[in-house]
Amino acid sequence: MTTFDPATLSYNEQGLVPVIAQDHGSGEVLMLAWMNAQAVAKTLETRRVTYWSRSRKSFWVKGETSGHTQELVDLRVDCDRDCLLAIVRQTGSACHTNRRVCFYTSVSSGEEVELMSPEA
Amino acid sequence: MTTFDPATLSYNEQGLVPVIAQDHGSGEVLMLAWMNAQAVAKTLETRRVTYWSRSRKSFWVKGETSGHTQELVDLRVDCDRDCLLAIVRQTGSACHTNRRVCFYTSVSSGEEVELMSPEA
């Protein structure tokens, strides 16, 4: 068995990998955000999903201010080692719009159709 | 209702958005790849998921050579309009290693654990 080293992932020019968050219970795809190697290490160490905020240029412990935390259930690396899948226990809504998931707009009909309202 | 225009998405410096492919039946996250605005339009028009290959710098009609096609069931845009979720009917394996999904390596224990073998 190989010990996992976050430095062995393929990061982009900004030193980041995309991370897909999926709900452990429902299987819903919640959101996509980004991690650098340190955020990957922090997430594994704390079991609290920690992204890198590209706008704020700082660590982003998901739910730190909103309470909408993501507890890590499993972290998976893809075949090319340039993308991660975080399987999580989501508290509250994953989306900053207060919807359960970020992917609430369907466009496959050619029209933008909102599938989900903000939580009460 | 607003007509969906692929030009209204937020593309990165390379003109691309990440696209998460999820299996319609099982809910499994299959893979992550990239689309430019034309690939988004082609996918909607043909209902065959068409990515942009960053290595080959050309359209990549998923399964065109392998037969492992992705039929579009729904396409969703996230809250920031910088990521897509393609819900698909996957024929055969999504991963080029012939595994059902690309995320077959678990690292949450600190060791790399392979969860899935290539299909027979």
A97, pLDDT greater than 90: yes
Q: How far does Cα B42 stand from its chain's mean position?
A: 14
User: Is there a domain that residue A6 lies in?
Assistant: no
| Host domain of residue B72 | 10-114
Q: Lowest-pLDDT range, A53-57, A116-120, B89-93, B106-110?
A: A116-120
CATH number of the structural domain spanning residue B25: 3.10.20.810
Please count the residue pairs, one from chain A and one from chain B, whose beta carbons lie less than 8 angstroms apart: 112
Q: Name the average pLDDT for chain B.
A: 97
User: Is there a domain that residue A33 lies in?
Assistant: yes
User: Is there a domain that residue B5 lies in?
Assistant: no
User: Is there a domain that residue A106 lies in?
Assistant: yes
Mark which residues 39-68 of A lie under 8 Å from B by CB: 44
Q: How many domains does chain A have?
A: 1
B1, pLDDT greater than 90: no
Q: Residues of B comprising the binding site for Zn(2+)?
A: 79, 95, 102
pLDDT attached to residue A120: 78
User: Is there a domain that residue A3 lies in?
Assistant: no
Which residues neighbour B86 within 8 Å (Cβ) at sequence distance 6 or greater?
Answer: B19, B20, B21, B22, B43, B49, B70, B72, B74, B75, B76
Q: Looking at residues B25-49, what average pLDDT do you find?
A: 98
ipTM here: 0.97
Global model pTM greater than 0.95: yes
User: Is there a domain that residue B62 lies in?
Assistant: yes
